[in-house]
Structure 1
Amino acid sequence: MAEKEESSAAGRGREEELKKELQSVVKKIVDEDNYGIEITLKAISILSDLSDTVLTKKFRCPISGEIMCDPVVLSSGLTYDRPSIQKWLNEGNLTCPQSKEVLSHTILTPNCLVRKLISSWCKGHGVAVPRSHQDSNGEMSTEFDRLYFNSLVAKMFSSLTDRKEAAKELRRLTTAAPSYRAVFFEFTDPISRLIGPLLEGSVDSDPELQEDLITTFMNLLVDCDNMKLVADHPDAIPLLIKSVEFGTTETRKNAAVALSMLSSDNDRRLLIGNAGAPMPLLQLLREGHPIAMKEAASAILNQCVEHNNKEKFIELGAVKVLLEKIREGKLVDELINLVAQLSTHPKAVNELRELDTVHCLLGIIRETESEGTKENCVAILYNVCLNDVGLLKVIWTEGIEHQTLAKLVDTGTARAKRKATALATKIDLFDRETIPNSFKKEWRWASSPTAKANKWSWKKVLELFIEFARH
């Protein structure tokens, strides 16, 4: 105890010393018109030392005086290191060591923010990060944590104020600590207890409560063992689908993420599709909220692995929506991937057979740096154009000027090369069977270095070829 007091006194002395030194330097900066860069740098250095001193003081447990390894918050609102405050409580003390107030309960809440700050500070100063309770034992859930977590879940049947406070804390804990996500399903009928407040009235009657509970729901699904328990609950998936329709943007996005995670299993994909998820997900994508579009696209992509769901999305107009967003330049890589998934369905192929779509895809192949996007574009072209002479003419004409497919055959991914080669072979066959000899002769000449050097001749030949392709 004497060593702790001596260390604390030394820390206070150092802090006061730095404050006086800073005060002196700042006075010179304020009073002197021509103060130099040296004095400014000195002020910055003192501030840095002072911040370190203050931070290390905040990071030390008020009981042990040591940097905290597992900071927790007592009901008084003050933070202590878990081993120290646990010992204090085990000795029968029911007051806060610092404030002396009587404790309303002895639940210890992990202070994740302080833990992160300590870890960041230690790494920045080359100091070993203190090993915490969860570091050494592989988990964070003590009996006090379980009791606290259970008390939060129990509050879902209390007043609205208690519900909102508990929902916010559940969201925080399931975001920060994996152990809470695992322990949740040890309770009796946990899903009903969690979503009960949202089932009593309109789902979006309290947007803040809805957002916290849906986010908690999403967090719980990070633990794969929870997937089946959620899917088997009759109200869980309908609630998530409803939350994709209504609520804050964050609520809708996180509900889409939850549905995407649940779609990892084919039976669940079919269940979600049959429960009415396609329309709300497509609407979320159509609205174009940047924060939500990507998650909606991911959920739709996972859903479309199942053939029946793919057909549902196509019938709802997904192809048109996706092409509109792509032409607007929104999430091009992600949406092209989704179009490639849909393009394996005959109904989607019919919608994609437009000159503008083909030109758009060829343009993306030329402009994008993403090899995956190039691969998806040529896969779409293969599905759409392979048996369409009119569209093969378009690609053939485009190849005169840009040689887009030829470049993919040389430099694309293995799949892109296969698709581009197949299309090139088909175009070559089309060339031999349908193009008049006069055009073939002109094309060969147009491909020569001499023609390319003569801009007027090249332009004339290109115009002739485009005219032929149109007919």
Structure 2
Amino acid sequence: MARSERSEAGASPSAKASELKRVLERLVREIPDEEGSGGGGGECEEARVAEVFDRISKTVAALRDLKLRRTLSQRLESAAVPEQFICPISSELMKDPVVLATGQTYDRAHIQAWLNNGHRTCPRTQQVLSHLILTPNYLVRNMIQQWCESQGIELPAPQNGTGDVYQEGITQGDRVHLDSLLQKIAFPSMEEQKQAAKELRFLTKRASSFRTLLGQAPDAMPLLLSLLSRVDSDLHPEVQEDVVTTILNLSIHDDNKKLVAEAPEAIPLLIKALKSGTMQTRSNSAAALFSLSALDANKIKIGEAGAIGPLIELLDQGSTMAKKDAASAIFNLCIMHDNRARAVRHGAIPVLLNAIKNESSGLVDESLAILSMLSSYQQALEEIVRNGGVQCLLDIIRENTSERNRENAVATLYSVCWNDRSKLREVREEEDENSSLSLLSQNGTSRARRKAAGILDRVRRFTNTA
């Protein structure tokens, strides 16, 4: 989540504005250019790009909102706000008044936050709520708007319960349309469900606002997951693909990552699709798991649910796009130490080494990065040696032109040599013939130079004691 979304409430408006501007500058630098994208990376690459643009849109909206709120605050200080326009929770002028089940009116942002924190009572009356539906209070909203116009005050955009400005473009018509699609998902007709699933996939890919809106709908995830669990993927593969891709699109929005992962069936059903769907469905499922794994808590959930094995299988046997999506997900998941052990147990090392040896795989960069991460695990080092990995790593150090790849290769080799002194002879032979490590110790990255020098030192000691 961008730092703009976590600004402390006590920070001054000017400090908040400066922070938002810094965030915006950083996000603009994160936009991948055509050359840096490597010609496309499948759904994961689309997810990354979409996420960056979502955050840019959100930060720009937050800057605009901050300016409006500063103006509003200044003008409200000199205006007597009618009591019926004040939210009982925040004691501030309501921007988006809604009616709770008890008939009390609150500002949507604050009552939604109350409900999101697990409360099931009315803050004012303490009555237990019969339902959690928030109904717009158009009468009060219009009265507030008229009063603001009479005072020369411009209201900022409404906020949701997490403090984020609503994405531009959400209209009441969008909300009605979403309700209609969710009703079709719940309808027993498979044709209605097919149509709704396909349209949800399209809308959530096209519009960031719809990803926000779908995440706010309390029934959306249960209905999507219910359809995904019931659909026969052999008879209706397109429905499974559409629902999985909708979940992927939904997960791109930061606030939805936790929402999706907390649904008990979400991750298991994505893993099921990862195992048995069409190649496109499997690829999109891997991309969804990659997107969800941005949160550390989700990395643990996904690993414990059994995703590592199917992801490695996809990395080994999938299409080019599917392999890239799988590699991205595996890398993110293996940031957590327990998932590294799972990856090694499920045969990651030979799959990664095969991808590294095969330059046409298009996965050399990703595979070396994962291998370097796994090399902190003892069993991984033994698997690297057993599968001829030392020579493979030496070939990368000698021949590959990418500084990052050579850095990851020498870092992995360093761990191997530290763990198994018998491999130092093989390294010495390479060094005597090509001086690969000596060259890297002089012209590699800072980390590569350190690792290469460390290996050379061990080789010298080994030679002197042999």
Give the TM-score range, shorter chain: 0.5 to 0.7
Q: Distance in 1 between matches of 2:213 and 2:234?
A: 28
Does the CA-based 8 Å contact 1:353-1:385 persist in structure 2? no
CA deviations on 1:440-470 (whole Å, 9 max, x unpaired) are xxxxxxxxxxxxxxxxxxxxxxxxxxxxxxx
Q: How does 1:6-45 map to 2 (within 5 A)?
A: none
Correspondence for 2:183 among 154, 159, 166:
154
Q: 1:140 is matched by which residue type in structure 2? A: G
Structure 1 position 186, deviation (Å): 2.4
- The match for 1:189 among 219, 226, 231 is 219
Letter in 1 for 2:237: P
1:279 and 1:392, CA in 2 relative to 1: closer, same or farther beyond 3 A? same
Aligned to 2:303: 273
Q: How far apart, in 2, do the equivalents of 1:322 and 1:197 lie?
A: 35
In 1, Cα distance between the equivalents of 2:209 and 2:295? 24
The superposition leaves residues 261-296 of structure 1 with CA deviations (integer Å, 9 ceiling, x where unpaired) of 212223222211111112211111121421200111
The aligned runs of 1:418-429 (5 Å cut-off) are 418-429=450-461
Residues 32-59 of structure 1: CA distance to partner in whole angstroms, max 9, x if unpaired?
Answer: xxxxxxxxxxxxxxxxxxxxxxxxxxxx
Which residues in structure 2 correspond to 1:96-111 (within 5 Å)?
none
Letter in 2 for 1:293: K
Q: Does structure 1 conserve the Cα–Cα contact (< 8 Å) formed by 2:241 and 2:280?
A: yes
Q: Which residue of 2 aligns with 1:379?
A: 411
Q: 1:286 to 1:264 in 2, by over 3 A?
A: same
Q: Is the CA contact (8 Å cut-off) linking 1:249 and 1:292 kept in structure 2?
A: yes
How many angstroms apart in 2 are the aligned matches of 1:229 and 1:416? 40
- When Rg is computed on C-alpha atoms for both structures, the one with the higher figure is 1
> Which has the larger displacement, 422-431 or 200-209?
200-209
Secondary structure of the 2:169 match is coil
- Alpha-carbon shift at residue 138 of structure 1 (Å): 5.9
Is the contact between residue 353 and residue 392 of structure 2 (CA under 8 Å) also seen in structure 1?
no
TM-score (norm 2): 0.61
Is 1:232 aligned with 2:262? yes
Q: CA deviation at 1:197?
A: 1.5
Corresponding position: 1:164 with 2:169: no
Measured after TM superposition, the shift of residue 345 of structure 1 is: 0.2
Shift of 1:307: 1.7
Tell me what 1:249 maps to: 279
Instruction: Map 1:68-467 onto structure 2 (within 5 A).
Output: 139-158=168-187, 159-329=189-359, 330=361, 331-354=363-386, 356-434=388-466
Tell me the CA shift for residue 414 of structure 1.
1.0
CA shift digits 1:326-374 (9 cap, x unpaired): 2233211111111111111000111112583211111112222211110
* CA–CA separation in structure 1 for the residues paired with 2:320 and 2:340: 24
C-alpha root-mean-square deviation of aligned residues, in Å? 1.7
| TM superposition shift of 1:156 | 0.4
1:156–1:166 Cα contact (<8 Å) kept:
yes
Q: Is the 8 A contact 1:355 1:391 kept in 2?
A: no
Paired letter, 2:420 = D
Report if aligned partners of 2:372, 2:409 keep a CA contact under 8 Å in 1. yes
Aligned residue identity for 2:250 = L
Q: Measure, in 1, the Cα distance between the counterparts of 2:305 and 2:387.
A: 36
Would the alpha carbon gap of residues 336 and 171 (structure 1) be closer, same or farther in structure 2, given more than 3 Å must change? Answer: same
Structure 2 counterpart SS, 1:344: coil
User: Normalising by the residue count of structure 1, what TM-score does the alignment of the two structures yield?
Assistant: 0.61
Decide whether the 8 Å contact of 2:257 with 2:295 is kept in 1: no
The number of residue pairs the alignment matches comes to: 298
**Alpha-carbon distance between aligned partners in 2 of 1:195 and 1:271, rounded to the nearest angstrom:** 17
Q: Distance in 2 between matches of 1:138 and 1:258?
A: 22
> Following TM superposition, by how much is the alpha carbon of 1:215 offset from its aligned partner in structure 2, in angstroms?
0.6
Q: What amino acid sits opposite 1:292 in the alignment? A: A
Equivalent pair of 1:214/1:254 in contact (CA under 8 Å)? yes
Kindly indicate whether the alpha-carbon contact (under 8 Å) linking 1:218 and 1:258 is maintained by their aligned counterparts in 2: yes
What is the letter of the counterpart of residue 364 of structure 1?
Answer: I
Q: CA deviation at 1:408?
A: 0.9
Deviation at 1:259, TM superposition (A): 0.9
Distance (Å, rounded) in 2 between the aligned partners of 1:210 and 1:387: 46
Instruction: Tell me, yes or no, if the aligned pair for 2:350 and 2:387 is still in contact at 8 Å.
Output: no
Distance 1:387 1:215 in 2: 43
Structure-2 separation of matches of 1:203 and 1:233: 21
The one-letter code of the counterpart of 1:149 is L
| Equivalent residues of 1:386, 1:392 under 8 A apart | no
In structure 1, C-alpha distance between the alignment counterparts of 2:419 and 2:356, rounded to whole Å: 25
Question: Matched residue of 1:353: which SS?
Answer: helix
Q: Distance in 2 between matches of 1:207 and 1:301?
A: 28
Offset at 1:185?
2.3
Instruction: Tell me by how many angstroms 1:377 deviates.
Output: 0.2
**1:145 alignment partner AA:** D
Residue matched to 2:131: none
The verdict on how the C-alpha distance between 1:308 and 1:143 changes in structure 2, with shifts beyond 3 A counting, is same
* CA displacement, residues 128-182 of structure 1 (integer Å, 9 cap, x when unaligned): xxxxxxxxx9611111122112211221022111111111111111111100000
